[in-house]
Amino acid sequence: MLILVTGATGYVGGRLVPLLIEAGHQVRCFVRDPRRLEGRPWGDYEIAQGSVEDEESLVRALEGCEAAYYLIHSMSGTVEDFEERDRCYAQTFARAAARCASLKRIVYLGGLGGNANGDKEMSAHLRSRQEVGSLLVESGKLVTEFRAAVIVGSGSASFEMIRYLTERLPVMICPRWVRTRCQPIAIRDVLHYLVDTLKVEASAGRIIEIGGQDVLTYADVMRGYAHVRRLRRWLIMVPVLTPRLSSYWVDFVTPLPAALARPLIEGLRTEVVVRDRSGMDLFGFQPIGFEHAVDLALKRLAADGQDSSWFDAYYFGLSRHQQQDVLVENEGMIVERRTQESAASPERAFDQVKRLGGPEGWLYADALWSLRGAIDHLFGGPGMRRGRRSLSDLRVGDALDFWRVEEIRPPELLRLRAEMRVPGRAWLQFEVCPDEKGGSTITQTAFFEPHGLAGWLYWYPLYPIHRLIFAGLLRKVAQRAEAAKSEDKVAS
């Protein structure tokens, strides 16, 4: 079946596409900028360029498709205009869908909210999500509208707000909405419903409410997150925090801007629980509980310790600007990335990368590396005593001073996992790519996942030192690679 996925570069779409391909479907991704899909490790898929504001580009993208996933959500700009933009986008898509004879199904992911008598207190955000579902029905196609509450997964806006607040604030001053009930659902289960709905004919043409095993208050959600992370947190309820004030507080404490936080917070005042389970029962599987979902969301590695797809998914999820030399924070991870051009080939550059550590040292500010190792050893860590197995060869699992080789793909990638004592988890990654001049571009990325407030207090004061050391290290790698190239020319 040929399927169109709108919002393929988004949080849900980016996870849905590879699952649809794995299920045997042909997938066409509708995107404004095809460059945002470059290098995605999804397998075979088509790209249709266009804008959801342009009906003709949608008609071209829908040609030949039997099903389409509508995963467009405009709540990323100002508070005042997201409802109107969502409405216009949905109407344009509905008109385009109506013109596509091959299209049989539209699948849409909206939001829970309201009750049998109508909920006059429902937020603008939730009203907009449900209005979009109604507008898609006007296409005359069978629409399956899934309605979910908080989606528990790394990258979900609601989950990220909960994550950052709980991680950074040992004592939280909370508004009344933390007593509101909700039914969080794991992203894994949401994707299960989205993929399987094409096989469950009875799901066509109906609204399906979905949720996880647990019905919790938002206070319970934050306590549950803290329990999984082994953090102690205290919540103090106050009646004076309005959604506007709360959004400014979230803007100050977390990376989420107030314009995004405010409609989310207003939505948290509405109870969002599954009231009609009949739709869920069509699928024959039991969603997991909240703490299990949090545990899965926080895992960066597969159970066997090998790399999962998280690093690739994270990197390709960044904008082109974020992939340049910059410090960014997203999905609970601090990412410090820098690049260095070299006239040496990728093979020569990577050869210098894999010689780092041990007797060769770390090429720049070795005294500071040794000091960090001594401090680590003092606090019970391995320090720098382990060295390395071989002067010129590395394998997955090798110790490398206070690092461990997690992945190596010569001459492209080396990723090291930190085993020193830090309040969080850390990785150092090197990627080497050929450039148009016959040389190479070396990209160095430091990943740090802080554990609680201590993690942030550890990382940011050290950022100036990290910037100095890592930039110097990268520069020295490039210089050594070019020197090796010159020596080979002289020898020949």
* 294-309: pLDDT as tens digits: 998 887 543 333 333 3
Q: Report pLDDT for 289.
A: 96
Distance set, CA 258 to CA 120, 130, 244, 270, 430 (Å): 24, 23, 8, 19, 35
- Residue 184's SS3 state is coil
Higher pLDDT, 221 or 80: 221
- Asked which of 78-82, 197-201, 309-313, 488-492 is least confident by mean pLDDT, the reply is 309-313
Cα angle 322-323-325, degrees, rounded to a multiple of 5 = 85
Instruction: Give the phi and the psi of residue 300 in degrees, each rounded to 5.
Output: -100, -15
Q: Report pLDDT for 55.
A: 95
Model confidence at 4, in pLDDT bands (50, 70, 90)?
very high
pLDDT 10s digits, 101-152: 999 999 999 998 865 444 556 777 788 889 999 999 999 999 999 999 989 9
Please, are residues 29 and 35 in contact by the beta-carbon 8 Å criterion? Answer: no
pLDDT, mean of residues 458-478: 92
Q: Report pLDDT for 118.
A: 47
Most confident of 34-48, 131-145, 226-240: 131-145
What domains sit in the chain, N to C, each tagged with a CATH number? 2-298 (3.40.50.720), 310-491 (3.30.530.20)
pLDDT, mean of residues 19-33: 94
Q: Report pLDDT for 186.
A: 95
Element (H, E) at 225: helix 218-229
Residue 319: pLDDT over 70: no
Higher pLDDT, 35 or 353: 353
Q: Residue type for 133, please?
A: G
pLDDT, mean of residues 39-45: 83
Q: Report pLDDT for 121.
A: 65
Cα angle 140-146-149, degrees, rounded to a multiple of 5 = 145
Residue 330: pLDDT over 80: no
Burial of residue 89 (CB within 10 Å: 0-12, 13-18, 19+) is: buried
Separation of alpha carbons 86 and 444, rounded Å: 39
- Asked which of 117-131, 222-236, 374-388, 424-438 is least confident by mean pLDDT, the reply is 117-131
Model confidence at 310, in pLDDT bands (50, 70, 90)?
very low
pLDDT 10s digits, 280-297: 999 989 999 999 999 988
pLDDT 10s digits, 57-76: 999 999 999 999 999 986 55
Residue 94: pLDDT over 90: yes
Residue 263: pLDDT over 50: yes
> Which residue is listed with tokens 């009609």?
276
Separation of alpha carbons 235 and 221, rounded Å: 12
Residue 90: pLDDT over 50: yes
Residue 82: pLDDT over 50: yes
Model confidence at 349, in pLDDT bands (50, 70, 90)?
very high
Using a pLDDT cut of 90, give the percent of the chain over it.
57
Separation of alpha carbons 432 and 421, rounded Å: 29
Which residue from 445, 281, 425 is spatially nearest to 353, judged by alpha carbons?
445
Separation of alpha carbons 492 and 476, rounded Å: 24
- Pull the structure tokens for residue 413: 């990638």
Mean pLDDT of the chain: 86
Which residue from 171, 172, 167, 232 is spatially nearest to 454, judged by alpha carbons?
167
Separation of alpha carbons 471 and 339, rounded Å: 9
Residue 203: pLDDT over 50: yes
Neighbours of 445 (CB within 10 A): 20
Model confidence at 400, in pLDDT bands (50, 70, 90)?
very high
Please, are residues 445 and 432 in contact by the beta-carbon 8 Å criterion? Answer: no
Separation of alpha carbons 424 and 450, rounded Å: 4
Q: Report pLDDT for 249.
A: 74
> Is the link from the previous residue into 257 a cis peptide, with omega within 30 of 0?
no
Q: Report pLDDT for 428.
A: 94
